[in-house]
Chain A
Amino acid sequence: MIYCPSCGTANKSGSKFCNQCGHNLTGVSKAACPACGAANPTENLFCDSCGAKLAPLVTKGSEERAEIKGLSLPTKPLDEEGQGPLDGEEMPAAQEEEASVPEDTAKEDAGLPEEGEAEEEMPEWLLRLRAASPASGEQPEESAPSETPSPEDWGEFPSEDLEEADVPEWLQQLEPAEPMPPQEEPSAPEVEEGEEALLSDVWAEEANRDQLAAEPAEPEAPAPAEEEPPALKPTEELPQQAEEAPGGIPALAQPPSDEEDLAAWLQAEGPVILEPDEGEEEEEDIVFEPRAGETEEAPDQGRLPSWIETLAPEGVLPEELGGEFVEEGRRTPEAMGLERAEIPSWLEGLRPGRPGEQMPEAEETVEESGVLQGVVGALRLVQDIDPLPSSQMRPMSEPVAATPAQANLFADLLSRPTSSVVKPRPVSAAPKRERGFAWLATLLLIAAVLLPFFATGLVPGGDTVAVPQPVSDLAERIRDLNETDVVLVSFDYDPGVSTELDWPAEVILEDLEARSVNLLVMGVTPTGPGLAARFDIPAGEALFLGYLPGQEMGLQRLASNLEGIFTVDFFSNAVSDAPFGVKSLNDVALVLTIAASQETVRWWMEQVGTQTGAPPIGAIVSAAIEPAVRPYYASGQIVGLVSGWVGAQAYEEAAGLPASEGEGGPAALEAQSLAHLAIAGLILLGNAVYWGKRLFGRRA
């Protein structure tokens, strides 16, 4: 049995959640080992993990128990597993410790309170009753302690303070005329008048029931007053709601929330529960420890003890009572001579059905699918479970419409064979259309590029260009060079753009060769000198200085100490052996940088062009960087500028050189012009489609 720490409801052993409030009982159903901390079932006397005895911890806890106070509510009998009785004041959380208490220890712990304590806690009205009771003084001390209320007190109390109408008639008839065995002293509940009526019933019934249970082995003998009171002790704690009742008022004044629990509770409280069924046996509350020499044999369920039979109302034979018990397991209040009005109205509604009444039969359901297919009433248990109070009822989740589809999809995915190869996603319609346009543009561009090589004159004037001012300025600067002048040509581009820059470089070198100037060939990129070596440059008129490392720092040193940087040329020949001597950059008449990156042009401008006495710098650049280089020409830092193929052909025209053939030349320029037209047409077409879709799309 597990008591809920939240509401105090008794739940069956092994329960994970409280039947009443749904509280999690997993932590409650285990007892922690004091040695290793392992969780053990509450029935364990020794730890499953380390074998340590769990009793010491419980014994210590039991010594610290609080005194018994208040009314002993229905508790549970000792179960078959030997679970020890529990103290009525124990908190539910300590029950797991209490479960492992040895029987002897439990007996000691569950003994009656000390005399002094009983004297202090005895209610005033009880003291008055005891003083007024004639039997109290007649009781021998050895048989009944003076501080302990005698059974006579229990029998006399309700009739004194309660209204006559509130006392059940059968209780009055059942008032024990003989001394009752001593029982647990109730605390001093300060109850209102309205509550006393109910409490009187309960207390009287409690006394009756205790008396019944205290004489199981000797049903024939009435409880003698001289006999030592049995070791009556409550076995389990009070329900929490009873303990927490304000002002010490037992929670019996509050109606239980659950109808079925209340029914069991009423049966336990009622005067006629003598034959509980199996389920009710676990919920039985009070355990009577048999005295020495007595057996634990249960009394005959079908027969009342003789002393009860003597207390039976007039006209009710013991046989009738016994037969009624055997047949129905209970006696109705009418059979006991009670009137219906004596039961509070709120309890009346919760009373279990009378014998013979037909309970509505629940429909039996048959499972139609799943592993429970064909099982009848498989889900009926759900309906039998006590529902939660409406305030604690959790919202039920209902399957949505998409759930079966999702479940099927998940099952389908699980059934598919696994593969580590990622399959390409199918291309949707829109990307296909876009890819089609991309291929169309590519084919159009390739056609525009190839057509001029097979049919010239497709673009009128496409093979001729106007000579821009930067080109003519550079051509004029080169034209002014003398044969003794030295021109430094720096190949500052990579093979990737050699197709575009080889033609301008070739045109410039051709013009320089025609002027018979001396050349210094170098490069600020590692691949530059190698590209320069492809051109047909007379060795006697040129010196291959090779690669100049250091980028900006190298150019800075070049401007200050050219002779110190280049000791050997690209072919490992000593620069000092060159046919023309150049000691510094000031000896150079013109610097030409052939660059594909604006960075290299900027290095020349910033590190060489800013030096005092620096030679003029001309640039032959890729068309891609012309916008970035042109400002240097506008500022006068560059004396001339040739850009790409267009610049190369313009330079040919400006320098009066023959037109190139083969790679580069009119065919290449015409192809370039046609390609530019195709690209421009595609851009215009794309814009027209875009704006058309926006305009007409909006109107639509």
Chain B
Amino acid sequence: MSEAIGIWISALLTVMVFSYLLGDNPLYRLAEHLFIGTAIGYAVLVAYYSLLRPKLILPLVQAPLDNWTLVVPLLLSGLLLGRLNRRWHRLGIVPLAFLLGVGVALTIGGALFGSLLPQILQTIVSINPAAEGWNVALSNLILVAGTLSALFYFYFTADSGTGLGRVKSGFVKAWRGIGKWFIMVTFGAIFANTVMARVSLLIGRLQFLIYELPKSLR
């Protein structure tokens, strides 16, 4: 019975969200607020039961002397609440600086070794058809050309129009034109995938109304 009620509430909220097709209305706003409120409430509960209670409160209550170091994150968390008050907002700088510093350090290190270098190495490929075959060589050539031209597209420095500078300027201009097309094709692919994902969501919701809702009536 509870599952049927949940299905009906889900169906009702789905229809309320679809009512946005007719324009902004209170039903859509109600469903939107319910979604946001439920998500925040759920996140708070998850954070409490998954983090605060087992890793901060219980250790401090059950064995404070053994876990006295947890006072430091507790204090930092309290200082972070100072951001809510204009008078005490400067106290929140310390925990924010700690969070940003650690986060930036991790991001730089991870991005360098997890994304940048591997992707650069990935573009160092052979374009020799004799060694890789025509298909692979062509694919690699497109990969290299696309990567280089896309990088040239973001080369905004202008060179002088005399001598070697003119040659360089023409070279960069030509590659920028190619890079623009690669970028546009990439954006098109991303857009198509996004449309496909959203259509899947639409189909899923309609499928829910067609299949799941009748099941609850049986």
Contacts and interface: CB of A to CB of B under 8 A. Distances in A.
Interface of A: 442, 445-446, 449-450, 453, 494-497, 499-500, 526-527, 529-530, 546-547, 549, 552-553, 556, 567-568, 570, 572, 602-603, 605-607, 609-610, 622-628, 631-632, 634-637, 643-646, 662-663, 667-668, 671-672, 675-676, 679
B199 A547 contact: no
Contacts of B119: 631, 635
Q: Dominant SS at the A interface? A: helix
A515 B156 CA distance: 54
Given A530-B46, A549-B51, A497 B122 contact: no
Given A547-B50, A643-B193, A676-B196, 5 more contacts: A497-B201, A552-B110, A606-B107, A627-B189, A668-B207
Contact of A623 (B106, B107, B197): B197
B207 to A, nearest CB: 5
Contact of A607 (B42, B106, B196, B207): B106
Contact of A679 (B103, B199, B210): B199
Q: Dominant SS at the B interface? A: helix
Given A449-B202, A631-B122, A676-B199, A553 B103 contact: yes
Contact of B200 (A442, A499, A568): A499
B114 A609 contact: yes
Contacts of A446: 206
A668 B49 CA distance: 37
B81 to A, nearest CB: 17
A523 B202 CA distance: 25
Nearest to B143: A634
| In the A-B complex, the 9 residue pairs with the closest CB atoms | A606-B110, A606-B114, A499-B204, A624-B197, A526-B43, A547-B50, A623-B197, A635-B122, A526-B46
A668 B203 contact: yes
B118 interface: yes
16 contacts: A445-B199, A497-B201, A500-B204, A526-B50, A527-B42, A547-B46, A547-B50, A606-B107, A622-B197, A627-B186, A627-B193, A644-B197, A663-B208, A663-B212, A671-B203, A676-B195
Contacts of A627: 186, 189-190, 193
B55 interface: yes
Given A529-B46, A644-B196, A499 B54 contact: no
A630 to B, nearest CB: 10
A627 B42 CA distance: 31
A607 B113 CA distance: 9
Interface string B71-113: 0000000000000000000000000000000110011011101
Contacts of A663: 204, 207-208, 211-212
Given A530-B46, A556-B106, A606-B115, A449 B197 contact: no
Nearest to B45: A526
Contacts of A449: 199, 202-203, 206
B21 interface: yes
A602 B114 contact: yes
Contacts of B189: 627
B121 interface: yes
A500 B50 contact: no
Contacts of A610: 110, 113-114
A635 B118 contact: yes
B39 interface: yes
B168 interface: no
Interface residues of B, number: 47
B194 interface: yes
Given A499-B205, A637-B118, A675-B203, A552 B51 contact: no
Interface of B: 21, 39, 42-43, 46-47, 49-51, 54-55, 102-103, 106-107, 109-111, 113-115, 118-119, 121-122, 186, 189-190, 193-208, 210-212
Contacts of B39: 494-495, 527
A675 B206 CA distance: 13
A646 B202 CA distance: 15
Contacts of A679: 195, 199
Contacts of A500: 197, 200-201, 204
A609 to B, nearest CB: 6
A645 B207 CA distance: 14
B211 A662 contact: yes
Contacts of B50: 526, 529, 546-547, 549, 570
Nearest to B196: A623
B136 to A, nearest CB: 12
A606 to B, nearest CB: 3
Contacts of B42: 526-527, 530
A345 B128 CA distance: 112
A546 to B, nearest CB: 5
Nearest to A567: B54
Contacts of A607: 106, 110, 114
A567 B59 CA distance: 11
B114 A623 contact: no
A644 B46 CA distance: 27
Contacts of B196: 623-624, 644, 646, 672, 676
A628 to B, nearest CB: 8
Contacts of A636: 118
A253 to B, nearest CB: 74
Contacts of A499: 200-201, 203-205, 208
A475 B72 CA distance: 46
Contacts of A527: 39, 42-43, 46
A526 B47 contact: yes
A606 B107 CA distance: 8
Nearest to B44: A526
B114 A645 contact: no
**Residue among A453, A635, A636 with most chain B CB within 10 A:** A635
Contacts of B206: 446, 449-450, 453
A499 B109 CA distance: 35
B21 A623 contact: no
A668 B115 CA distance: 35
B54 A624 contact: no
**Residue among A553, A603, A605, A610 with most chain B CB within 10 A:** A610
A545 to B, nearest CB: 9
Contacts of B212: 663
A348 B49 CA distance: 112
Nearest to A667: B207
B114 A624 contact: no
A671 B205 CA distance: 12
Nearest to B114: A606
B174 to A, nearest CB: 25
A646 B198 CA distance: 13
A35 to B, nearest CB: 50
Given A500-B204, A556-B106, A627-B189, A453 B210 contact: yes
A519 to B, nearest CB: 18
A38 to B, nearest CB: 47
